[in-house]
């Protein structure tokens, strides 16, 4: 009897200690904190490497180079939290940008050309969604197929030539609002909106539930299919927007626009602590990871590293990031 | 009669019929497709894909996927090319050992990440795809290995032949297919790969060392990519850090899924994969004859993968349905 009581007591104590775990401790084991620390380290190391590194204007301008990927990565984070994945956004960007550029080069008025691009993005998102949700195929393989297909179609449309964009449409990255380039502003707004949706709305919480346990979510009345369908449509449209933004930044469109972007997007989500098997992850993490990547690549450019070495670094970072998040989550089983 | 029906019901028969129909259709449109020369073109297109496909088939059957085989091909080819450039007097078959060894190491690295860290293979190999490509740039200093550095005996392998005018590399690729057939059908390892793929939970309960088998599968995929790497050098006579093997993984995955290997693991055959590779070779050879620009190739690979996925799904459902009928 006494033994039992003692046992109970220790259990209560344990419970108390876990409940009373100090705030800083909880904060420390969150994967975003890791990202944040790495960001700080990156900035410190970068500024030691070169005095030009701490130029805020330069960093903001470098950010516009990956802003499109970062925006798509925010939505990709939602998709991964919901337990699916989409590897096709970069190809989607290329195809919708090609359609958009082709239309406006053929003399279609700009608003309609943009509409064509967005509609194409939506259609591509819907295609992925139908394959994954209606036909219940694994999203990872479906989106590898569409990754090749969309870029292949872009190649069919554009050939090996590049399509020029009308002059006045060029240069979204040169528009400054209070000294901040427009793509960065769009990224900030998108992060805030998606972060609020994910944390403050029922819809957002349901995304987490679907990713944690889809069967349970469906049994508790969550329309998991509709929500996932919506997420695929959203990432389709957002990729199209990003594609058109890239077209405006580059001034011309080729089929290889955003080639290899899927690596960067998945990398941003993983570095931000999104759990690859779904159910965990935050917009804040991806937001920080996007900046971290900019700091890393700016640092590498400042340090005069070859682009090829940067590719290697990105590959290594991806592997290290998933190992680290998996490790953190396995230590903090909820 | 029943045997014939069984043969016709097999997946491989369907692919074979598709190849025949496709060749007839193209031949009617362009009679020059039916010449010995175009057969030669088709056969010279397939060896690399064939060898890569054997490795990828094993990986897919074990319920994994390897996206990095193109980069492994490039890296092993580059290592071998650099060796030939620095030590021109070396006996050229050593290149095979070096290429296969390099590929095996890269494949093992993938396998270690997948098994010991329990990471999804698709994300790991997406990472290593870029990692190995970057390393290829680094070791080569972003410079191409030119034609004069590749030993002429090696280059001759894709020209000269021991029998019937069939070049060595074609014979080698079919020998690799035969060897894979032997491994898959007649060794414990092959059966264990299928067991893991069809039921990953039951496999360890039956005493299969899943970690070890998965490691071997990834190492084999790497080794075969390495072999494909030196054959690339033989076939094209150069090694380029950016082109060599780029997009190879997509061709291979397309060929393998046409061949009826299921993405969900546990299903696949060497014969089907060989036929899938041949069908892809026929399509690639027919495109220029039909006047379709090469830029459509990627679109075709992509749609082929998606169509194969859908067929695979219907076959699985219909197959189960017919099984239920036969029991009642």
Measure in Å the smallest separation between the Cα of A76 and chain B Cα atoms: 14
- Mean pLDDT score across all residues of chain A: 84
Task: Report the pLDDT value the prediction gives residue A137, as an integer from 0 to 100.
Answer: 85
Place of tokens 């129909």: B21
For chains A and B, CB pairs below 8 A equal: 144
Task: Report the pLDDT value the prediction gives residue A253, as an integer from 0 to 100.
Answer: 87
CB atoms within 10 A of CB B135: 23
Q: What percent of chain B has pLDDT over 70?
A: 92
Does pTM surpass 0.90?
Answer: no
Question: pLDDT class for A29, splitting at 50, 70, 90?
Answer: low
Task: Report the pLDDT value the prediction gives residue A334, as an integer from 0 to 100.
Answer: 47
Tell me which residues of chain B, numbers 54 to 83, contact chain A at a CB-CB cutoff of 8 Å.
Answer: 65, 67
Is A3 within a domain? no
Between A177-186, B157-166, B180-189, the lowest mean confidence (pLDDT) is in: B157-166
pLDDT over 50 at B117, yes or no: yes
B130 to A260: CB separation less than 8 angstroms, yes or no: yes
Task: Report the pLDDT value the prediction gives residue B6, as an integer from 0 to 100.
Answer: 63
Q: Which residues of chain B lie closer than 8 angstroms to A259, CB-CB?
A: none
Q: Which residue of A149, A277, A319 is in closest CB contact with B302?
A: A149
Q: Is B202's Cβ below 8 Å from some Cβ in A?
A: no
Q: Give every CB contact of residue A23 below 8 A, 6+ residues apart in sequence.
A: none
Q: Which one of A308, A323, A330 makes the best mutation probe of the B interface by having the most chain B beta carbons within 10 Å? A: A308
pLDDT over 70 at B76, yes or no: yes
Spell out the alpha helix ranges (H) of chain A: 2-19, 23-28, 31-49, 56-81, 89-105, 110-129, 139-158, 182-200, 202-212, 214-219, 224-250, 261-271, 283-302, 307-331
User: In terms of CA atoms, which chain A residue is nearest residue B110?
Assistant: A319
- Ranked by mean pLDDT, the top range of A34-48, B65-79, B305-319 is B65-79
Residue B236's domain comprises 2-327
Question: pLDDT class for B30, splitting at 50, 70, 90?
Answer: confident
Is A6 within a domain? no
Task: Report the pLDDT value the prediction gives residue A21, as an integer from 0 to 100.
Answer: 61
What is the phi/psi pair of residue B145, to 5°?
Answer: -90, 115
Cα A86 to Cα A147: distance, rounded to the nearest angstrom: 9
Higher pLDDT among residues B49 and A297, named by residue: B49
CA atoms in the 13 A half-sphere facing the CB of A114: 11
User: In terms of CA atoms, which chain A residue is nearest residue B317?
Assistant: A135
Is A9 within a domain? no
Is A24 within a domain? no
- Give the pLDDT mean for A235-242: 94
Task: Report the pLDDT value the prediction gives residue A79, as an integer from 0 to 100.
Answer: 93
Q: Output the domain CATH number for residue B143.
A: 1.10.3470
Q: Which residue of B67, B117, B295 is in closest CB contact with A159?
A: B295
Question: pLDDT class for A238, splitting at 50, 70, 90?
Answer: very high
The strand pairing partners of B166, in sequence order, are: B163
Q: Which residues of chain B lie closer than 8 angstroms to A79, CB-CB?
A: none
Task: Report the pLDDT value the prediction gives residue B327, as an integer from 0 to 100.
Answer: 39
Task: Report the pLDDT value the prediction gives residue B7, as an integer from 0 to 100.
Answer: 61
Cα A334 to Cα B20: distance, rounded to the nearest angstrom: 57
Question: pLDDT class for B323, splitting at 50, 70, 90?
Answer: very low
Cα A315 to Cα A184: distance, rounded to the nearest angstrom: 25
- Greatest C-alpha distance within chain B: 71
pLDDT over 80 at B239, yes or no: yes
A63 in Cβ contact with A298 (< 8 Å)? no
- Greatest C-alpha distance within chain A: 88
For the stretch A157-171, pLDDT in tens is: 888 788 888 888 887
Task: Report the pLDDT value the prediction gives residue A1, as an integer from 0 to 100.
Answer: 47
Question: pLDDT class for A195, splitting at 50, 70, 90?
Answer: very high
A152 to B300: CB separation less than 8 angstroms, yes or no: yes
Q: Which residues of chain A lie closer than 8 angstroms to B197, CB-CB?
A: none
- Give the pLDDT mean for B128-154: 84
Higher pLDDT among residues B106 and B268, named by residue: B106
How many separate domains does chain A show?
A: 1
pLDDT over 70 at A17, yes or no: no
pLDDT over 60 at A20, yes or no: no
Residue A212's domain comprises 34-331
pLDDT over 80 at B319, yes or no: no
Question: pLDDT class for B41, splitting at 50, 70, 90?
Answer: confident
Cα A268 to Cα A322: distance, rounded to the nearest angstrom: 11
Tell me which residues of chain B, numbers 124 to 163, contact chain A at a CB-CB cutoff of 8 Å.
Answer: 124, 126-135, 137-138, 142
Q: Which residues of chain A lie closer than 8 angstroms to B310, CB-CB?
A: 131, 135, 137
Higher pLDDT among residues A5 and B21, named by residue: B21
For the stretch A239-297, pLDDT in tens is: 999 999 999 888 888 888 888 888 889 888 888 888 888 888 889 989 999 998 888 88
Between A209-218, A296-305, B48-57, B317-326, the lowest mean confidence (pLDDT) is in: B317-326
How many separate domains does chain B show?
A: 1
pLDDT over 70 at B42, yes or no: yes
Cα A314 to Cα A312: distance, rounded to the nearest angstrom: 5
Cα B135 to Cα A309: distance, rounded to the nearest angstrom: 7
Is A19 within a domain? no
Q: Output the domain CATH number for residue A151.
A: 1.10.3470
pLDDT over 70 at A155, yes or no: yes
For the stretch A66-107, pLDDT in tens is: 899 999 999 999 999 998 989 999 999 999 999 999 898 888
pLDDT over 80 at A31, yes or no: no
Q: Is B212's Cβ below 8 Å from some Cβ in A?
A: no
Cα B41 to Cα B64: distance, rounded to the nearest angstrom: 32
Between A32-41, A111-120, A237-246, the lowest mean confidence (pLDDT) is in: A32-41
Q: Which residues of chain A lie closer than 8 angstroms to B115, CB-CB?
A: none
Is A251 within a domain? yes
């Amino acid at each position: 009897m006494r033994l039992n009581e003692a046992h109970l007591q220790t259990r209560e104590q344990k419970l108390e200690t876990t409940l009373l775990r100090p705030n800083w401790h909880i904060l420390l084991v969150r994967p975003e904190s890791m990202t944040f620390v790495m960001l700080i380290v990156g900035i410190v190391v970068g500024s030691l490497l070169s005095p030009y590194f701490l130029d805020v204007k330069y960093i903001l301008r470098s950010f516009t180079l990956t802003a499109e990927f970062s925006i798509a990565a925010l939505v990709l984070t939602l998709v991964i939290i919901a337990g699916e994945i989409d590897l096709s956004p970069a190809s989607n960007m290329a195809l919708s940008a090609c359609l958009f550029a082709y239309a406006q080069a053929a003399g279609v008025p700009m608003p309609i050309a943009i509409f064509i691009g967005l509609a194409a993005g939506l259609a591509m998102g819907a295609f992925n969604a139908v394959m994954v949700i209606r036909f219940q195929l694994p999203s990872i393989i479906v989106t590898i197929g569409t990754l090749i297909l969309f870029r292949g179609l872009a190649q069919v449309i554009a050939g090996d030539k590049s399509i020029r964009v009308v002059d006045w449409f060029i240069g979204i990255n040169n528009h400054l609002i209070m000294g901040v380039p427009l793509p960065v502003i769009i990224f900030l707004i998108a992060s805030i909106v998606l972060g609020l949706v994910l944390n403050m709305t029922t819809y957002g919480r349901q995304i987490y539930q679907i990713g944690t346990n889809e069967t349970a979510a469906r049994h508790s009345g969550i329309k998991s299919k509709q929500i996932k369908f919506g997420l695929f449509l959203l990432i389709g449209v957002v990729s199209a927007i990003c594609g058109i933004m890239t077209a405006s930044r580059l001034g011309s469109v080729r089929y290889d626009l955003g080639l290899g972007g899927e690596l960067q997007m998945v990398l941003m989500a993983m570095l931000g602590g999104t759990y690859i098997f779904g159910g965990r992850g935050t917009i804040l993490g991806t937001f920080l990871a996007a900046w971290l990547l900019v700091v890393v690549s700016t640092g590498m450019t400042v340090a005069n590293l070859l682009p090829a070495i940067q590719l290697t670094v990105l590959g290594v970072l991806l592997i290290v990031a998933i190992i680290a998040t998996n490790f953190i989550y396995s230590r903090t089983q909820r | 009669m029943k045997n014939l029906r069984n043969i016709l019901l097999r997946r491989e028969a369907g692919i074979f019929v598709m190849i025949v129909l496709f060749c007839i259709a193209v031949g009617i449109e362009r009679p020059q497709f039916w010449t010995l020369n175009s057969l030669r073109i088709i056969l010279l297109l397939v060896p690399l894909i064939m060898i890569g496909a054997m490795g990828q088939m094993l990986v897919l059957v074990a319920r994994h996927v390897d996206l990095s085989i193109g980069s492994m091909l490039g890296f092993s080819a580059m290592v071998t090319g650099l060796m030939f450039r620095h030590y021109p007097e070396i006996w050229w078959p050593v290149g095979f050992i070096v290429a296969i060894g390099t590929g095996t190491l890269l494949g093992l690295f993938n396998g270690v990440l997948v098994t010991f860290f329990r990471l999804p293979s698709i994300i790991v190999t997406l990472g290593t795809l870029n990692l190995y490509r970057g390393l290829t740039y680094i070791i080569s200093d972003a410079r191409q290995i030119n034609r004069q550095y590749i030993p002429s005996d090696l280059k001759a392998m894709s020209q000269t032949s021991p029998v019937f005018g069939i070049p060595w590399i074609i014979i080698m690729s079919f020998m690799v297919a035969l060897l894979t057939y032997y491994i898959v059908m007649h060794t414990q390892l092959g059966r264990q790969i299928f067991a893991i793929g069809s039921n990953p939970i039951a496999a360890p309960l039956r005493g299969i060392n899943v970690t070890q088998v998965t490691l071997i599968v990834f190492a084999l995929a790497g080794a075969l990519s390495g072999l494909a790497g030196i054959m690339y050098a033989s076939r094209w006579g150069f090694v380029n850090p950016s082109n060599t093997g780029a997009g190879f993984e997509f061709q291979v995955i397309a060929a393998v899924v046409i061949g009826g290997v299921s993405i969900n693991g546990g299903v696949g055959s060497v014969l089907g994969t060989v036929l899938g590779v041949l069908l892809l070779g026929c399509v690639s050879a027919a495109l220029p004859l039909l006047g379709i620009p090469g830029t459509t190739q990627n679109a075709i690979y992509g749609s082929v993968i998606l169509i194969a996925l859908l067929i695979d799904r219907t076959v699985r459902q219909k197959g189960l349905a017919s099984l239920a009928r036969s029991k009642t």
